[in-house]
């Protein structure tokens, strides 16, 4: 049988899933409860499951639950696959009755469906978030370009209004009128 410890992260580590499972969480919790219930019991005659095997399976189910609670759905799926392999191995060696194996596998299938749905929902949410970020970035870039164009137009307008029109050239001063003085004919002297 495989050991759970290598197959899953411990709580408190960051997962790859998203937060907020909503109503999906209730169905997922129910599937996990059904899986845990299929592991309950100790007496081999009553349950079809050897006590040591039942404890091992319960550890694996706990790992699936903890990973799912931490929204680390890929790790939960990995732990579930480990549980499935261990159930098949235990059934092959007679530690699990065929009836009990079928009940456990039914529960594993229900949990796998919920995990797969959660992984797909997380991927869709991430894609929508990327689209939203891209749209916001494009809008910000367009706003920046608009503001730059507006600033350039305003600067051009100010440049035109700041330069004064050329001053008119003043007319030349009129020359003094020349009279008869100073020409030598009527000189008094």
Residues contacting 44, CB < 8 A, separation 6+:
50, 51
Annotated domain spans of the chain = 4-9+22-124
pLDDT score for 51: 84
Residues of the chain with pLDDT under 50: 1-23, 41-44
Torsion, CA 117, CA 5, CA 59, CA 113, rounded to 10: 10
pLDDT score for 188: 57
Let me know: does 96 contact 38? Beta carbons within 8 Å: no
Rounded to the nearest 5 percent, the helix, strand and coil shares of the chain are 65, 0, 30
Q: Report pLDDT digits (tens) over 42-64.
A: 444 556 778 888 888 888 889 88
Task: Report the topology of domain 4-9+22-124.
Answer: de novo design (two linked rop proteins) (1.20.1440)
pLDDT score for 86: 92
Q: Which of 31, 53, 34 is nearest to 42 (CA)?
A: 53
pLDDT score for 138: 94
Q: DSSP assignment, residue 3?
A: -
Q: Which residue has the tokens 């001053």?
A: 167
The rounded Cα 152 to chain-centroid distance in angstroms is 37
Q: DSSP assignment, residue 12?
A: T
- pTM, 2 dp: 0.52
pLDDT score for 137: 94
pLDDT score for 30: 59
| CA–CA distance, 38 with 91 (Å, rounded to integer) | 14
Q: Report pLDDT digits (tens) over 162-176.
A: 556 677 778 777 777
pLDDT score for 143: 94
Let me know: does 77 contact 70? Beta carbons within 8 Å: no
Let me know: does 93 contact 34? Beta carbons within 8 Å: no
Q: Which of 120, 38, 34 is nearest to 77 (CA)?
A: 120
Residue 171 CA neighbour count, 13 Å, CB half: 2
| CA–CA distance, 135 with 189 (Å, rounded to integer) | 102
């Amino acid at each position: 049988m495989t050991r759970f410890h290598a197959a899953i992260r411990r709580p408190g580590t960051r997962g790859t899933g998203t937060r907020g499972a909503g109503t999906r969480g209730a169905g997922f919790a129910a599937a996990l409860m059904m899986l845990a219930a299929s592991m309950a019991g100790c007496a081999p005659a009553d349950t079809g499951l050897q006590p040591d095997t039942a404890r091992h399976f319960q550890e694996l189910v706990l790992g699936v639950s903890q990973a799912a609670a931490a929204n680390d759905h890929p790790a939960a799926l990995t732990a579930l696959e480990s549980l499935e392999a261990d159930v098949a191995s235990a059934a092959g060696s007679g530690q699990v009755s065929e009836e009990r194996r079928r009940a456990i596998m039914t529960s594993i299938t229900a949990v796998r469906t919920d995990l797969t749905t959660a992984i797909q929902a997380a991927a869709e949410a991430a894609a929508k978030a990327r689209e939203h970020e891209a749209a916001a970035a494009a809008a910000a870039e367009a706003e920046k370009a608009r503001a730059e164009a507006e600033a350039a137009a305003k600067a051009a307008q100010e440049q035109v209004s700041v330069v004064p029109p050329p001053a008119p050239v003043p007319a030349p001063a009129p020359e003094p009128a020349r009279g008869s003085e100073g020409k030598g004919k009527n000189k008094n002297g």
